[in-house]
Amino acid sequence: MSRAIEHILRDLEHIAIRHDSERRVRIDLASEALPALLELLKGRAGFVHLSAISCVDWIDSGEFELVYHLWSYELNTLVSAHIRIPRDPGVYLSVYDLYQPAAFFERDIHEMFGLYFEGSPDMRPFILTEWNGPPPMRKDFDSEAFVNQTFQWETYHPDWLKDLEEQGGGIDKRPEDIR
């Protein structure tokens, strides 16, 4: 099974194929080679199902990692193709022409990470409501500061707590101190 995949991908250069288990294959490759890889997998090995595209923000190395999860109904194998692209400017090619469901995944990643996909049919806002902040899934997005700025907090000082505090007791750590 896995040898079949290696045979199909023999022409591609600079790729690392790792067999995590019998039915899981991880492929690391350069971002330029990804369209060729997807085309080969789809055309030769029946990887017709793009399950998801996931994105990881590696802020320390200044890169986004994109993971394309592909499933083949013939080989019953899950292939994860990992590429890394520079965080700035954060632009990559759409695979919409190969896999049409990619449009939603790319739109979602665009909204959550601010990564732009060239050639994707629709890059409008998707799930977030009334959003005018930075993309929230980026590592440099300060969720706590955003929450403090946007939402209200309930102040909670019941009477029985006042009585306790007068006797020297009370809450050890207040929520405000933990935040």
Partner 1 sequence: MSNEREVIGIHAEAKRGNPLAHVFDELTRFCRARSLFMLHYCTGCGAIELPPAMTSRFDMERLGIQPMVTPRQADILLVTGYVSVKTLKRIILTYEQMSAPKYVIGICSCTVNGGMYWQSYATAKVLKAYLPVDMYIAGCMPRPEAVIAGLRALIDDIEADRAESWKRYYQHYDHYLGNQQSLFGDDWQTPTDILAEAEHYGLLGEHTRGKHTALLERHQRPLEALEMRLRVPEEPE
Q: Is 147 in the site for partner 1 (CB under 8 A)?
A: yes
Taken in order 122, 126, 132, 133, the sign of the CA dihedral is negative
Residues that contact partner 1, how many (by CB under 8 A):
19
What is d(CA 72, CA 76) in angstroms, rounded to the nearest whole number? 5
State CA 177 to chain mean position distance: 32
CB of 158 to partner 1, least distance (A): 12
CB of 117 to partner 1, least distance (A): 23
Q: Is 160 in the site for partner 1 (CB under 8 A)?
A: no
Q: Determine the interface stretch with partner 1 among 7-15, 56-64, 113-121, 146-154 (rule: CB under 8 A).
A: 146-154
Q: Is 130 in the site for partner 1 (CB under 8 A)?
A: yes
H/E run at residue 96 = none
Q: Is 129 in the site for partner 1 (CB under 8 A)?
A: yes
Q: How many helices (H) and strands (E) does the chain have?
A: 6, 7
Is residue 135 within 8 A of residue 107, CB to CB? The reply is no
Q: Is 128 in the site for partner 1 (CB under 8 A)?
A: yes
Residue 121 structure tokens: 């049919």
Interface residues with partner 1 (CB under 8 A) are: 127-130, 133, 136, 141, 143-144, 146-147, 150-154, 156, 175, 179
